[in-house]
Amino acid sequence: MIDLCYDARWLGATGIGSVAAAMIKRKPNDISLRPLTYSGRISDPLSPFKLGSELRKLRADVFWSPGFIPPFSPKTPDVITVHDLTHLHYYSAAHKIYYDLLLRNIYKKSSKIVTVSEFTKNELMEWGGFSSEKIDVVYNSVESGFNFNVEKINLGWPYIFYAGNRREYKNIDRMIEAYSLSELPGAGVKLLLTGKLESKIGALLDKLNIQTMVEFSGFIPDNDLPRYFKGALAVVYISLYEGFGLPILEGMATGVPVITSNLSCMPEIAGNAAFLVDPLNLEEISSAMNKIASDGYFRNSLIVAGLNRAKDFSWDVSSRKFWDIIREVGENR
């Protein structure tokens, strides 16, 4: 029996929390699991040191961090899941220095790093100088509620759908502007975003004069989210940077065509089953929206391709690979 201690602070209603929960749900019987009894803030710059200090008080075979914060000098073999390197690209100079001077050196001493795409693995290797053997790719997936037969929600109007947060690299402003240039507003097809209207977006909608054509869903419970995907004419996810891009897979699994970016990890996850666009090119984005909305044959071909692509991702397969990594680290301690 391998005794695994993990950083439970990452659990919750976030992408990292959802991935961690999917792995924990499928834990094999030969691995015992207990949370680390430490409640300090993840955002605390001293978190790696405090985490390491707490671990040195415990006896565990392996430690797992579901997120990017590793323990400093834990004296326990550790596995760190790094979903992306967003903080190097889209946060402050202080974040970059923190990664370059502290986290990179701690990662070098970690027993294993797990990433969620080959793109992130390659980026980690280039940035950190890590060997390929140190990093394993374990793809994300979606739960069974995301499927072709899920009942679609009826909002009373057709829409294209964006699900996600509003961080700068999500490219929300450019998506809205491309939508305003497309034929969709004139055809009565709305743009639906998760979450609430914010003042900055409201000002952009006023400027583009499409206030009545962009809607906001508010908070959507996890159980209802597949229905919103299923009800859409298309999923639009033209982010500038991702470690995986889960909404791509969520759209495909529910049988909805996906428009996504031709850079970062997104071509890797989409394969040949999505409409790839230059996320900086407004004309290209709006043309993709027009084609999916107006060309039924093309739309159906993307639906079929997406459903097939979604079958390449499985939580059962990914969790088996992940727990094999934990076993390997525990047995070689």
The predicted-structure confidence for 221-254, as pLDDT tens digits, reads as follows 989 999 999 999 999 999 999 999 999 999 999 9
Mean pLDDT of 118-139: 97
> Could you tell me if residue 209 is left (phi over 0), alpha (psi between -120 and 50 degrees) or otherwise beta?
left
**The pLDDT of residue 73:** 86
Mean pLDDT of 306-328: 97
pLDDT in tens, 163-192: 999 999 999 999 999 999 999 999 999 999
Six-digit token pair at 93? 């100079």
Please name the fold of domain 2-141+315-332: Rossmann fold (3.40.50)
In this model, does residue 307 exceed pLDDT 80?
yes
Q: Are 234 and 126 in contact (CB under 8 A)?
A: no
In this model, does residue 333 exceed pLDDT 80?
no
**The pLDDT of residue 7:** 93
**The pLDDT of residue 74:** 85
Q: How far is CA 258 from CA 15, 72, 74, 204, 313, in A?
A: 19, 41, 43, 24, 16
**The pLDDT of residue 248:** 98
Q: Using CB atoms within 10 A of its CB, is residue 64 exposed (0-12), middle (13-18) or buried (19+)?
A: buried
The answer to whether domain 2-141+315-332 and domain 159-312 are alike in fold is: yes
Q: What percent of the chain has pLDDT over 90?
A: 90
Compute how many other C-beta atoms are within 10 angstroms of the C-beta atom of residue 206. Answer: 10
Lowest mean pLDDT among 12-16, 240-244, 314-318: 12-16
The pTM of the full predicted model, rounded to 2 decimals, is 0.93
- Is 3.40.50.2000 the CATH number for 159-312? yes
What are the structural domain ranges in the chain? 2-141+315-332, 159-312
